Chain A
Amino acid sequence: MRNDLILRVGTKLILPFILLFALYVQMHGDYGPGGGFQAGVIGAGSIILYALIFGTEKAKDVVPQRVVEKMIPLGVLLYAGTGVVSMLQGNNYLNYTGFHPDFLHAHEWGILIVELGVLITVAGTMMALFYAFAERGR
């Protein structure tokens, strides 16, 4: 597959759009279908596609393994930390009302941060799993 011209060129053409779509799904999750989980899977899928076509080593140049392994706990920490911040503001755990004077804006901020945590954990896990399988296979 690495020597297949059509796949190589096609992948190069389509990759930026997949990444952009992942970002769109992440940022637009408040308004349309999607959210952190879907965005994380789509983003990780783009890296896995890159690894399938250009080799795992090239993909590890883009997203190194140590970064991927740190992403897995980082997302959960970001999520749980958001709840701690809201507690420090005097609200319930994961009640975002204190993040902004406007109720709707406060909750949109909270949702955005929390979804970012989900994205980081999901994308990290998916890529780490793929790297682990590719590593094991050799």
Chain B
Amino acid sequence: MTLLSVFVLPFLAADPGAAAVQVRSAESLDTGLDLFILSLMLTLLAAVTVAIVRNRNMFGVVILFGVYSFLMASVMMTLDAVDVAMTEAAVGAGISTVLFLATLHLTGSMEYPQPRNVLLPLFVSIGVGGALVYGTFYLPAFGIADAPMHVHTAPRFIEMSKDHQMPPNMVTAVLADFRAFDTLGETAVIFTGGLAVLMLLGGRRKKLQGEPDEPAPNDAVNITASGVNGESLSGKVQGRTEA
């Protein structure tokens, strides 16, 4: 029953168009079911994170990353951020899972941690984590209506969308019109990022000396496919490096 409500309710709530314009007040979030679903999913998120940290099999970690993204997308749906949920589901659970699996094909799927001193990493993570938590003390309370970001320009954006001076999906209006310059920057970031990865990975790889002319028959597609079917990934990769 709980699972059903987690997956069905966001879709019921997401009446396209209306959901984009709808502004949720702090009180409606506090009404039982929403809060319950939200805390349930945040708890699951924490559990998945612990599992990711503890898991030594990278294949399992990649799948858990996908689970994490889907949970995150559901959280975003509960918060009525439908656009973000859509992006999270498509990028986090879709594309990056495939790219991670392709990476696993290049690196092998088992992690062999070296025994090392844990004191310094522990100190750094506790220090940074503490600083971040300390920083949240100065943030406005969650969902509060008179936070600075809600009173400066947001009312004008909402008014213009409401009066049909702008497209009804406020998110699109803000992203591609009011703050089009920011989005141009984001597009340039994707452009630059893609370019950088292509320069690192792409192009025709120069043939090393002594390497056979015929490339090994198994490519990323084969490996990820067999990995999905539950066969051992590491075995294949190790076999290839030995050959």
Contacts and interface: CB of A to CB of B under 8 A. Distances in A.
Contact of A72 (B14, B176, B191): B191
B216 interface: yes
Contacts of B14: 33
Decide if the interface of chain A is mainly helix, strand, loop or mixed: helix
Contacts, number: 181
Q: Which of B102, B205, B221 has the most CB of A within 10 A?
A: B221
A42 B20 CA distance: 20
A42 B90 contact: yes
B184 A94 contact: yes
Nearest to B167: A30
Contacts of A62: none
A75 B90 contact: no
B169 A33 contact: yes
A29 B201 contact: no
A52 B224 contact: yes
A90 interface: no
Contact of A56 (B98, B166, B221): B221
Contacts of A135: 201-202, 205
B194 interface: yes
Nearest to B240: A137
B143 interface: no
A132 interface: yes
A122 B180 CA distance: 16
Contact of B90 (A41, A79, A111): A41
A51 B221 contact: yes
Contacts of A36: 176
Nearest 8 pairs between A and B by C-beta? A1-B225, A32-B16, A125-B194, A137-B220, A30-B167, A133-B102, A33-B82, A132-B202
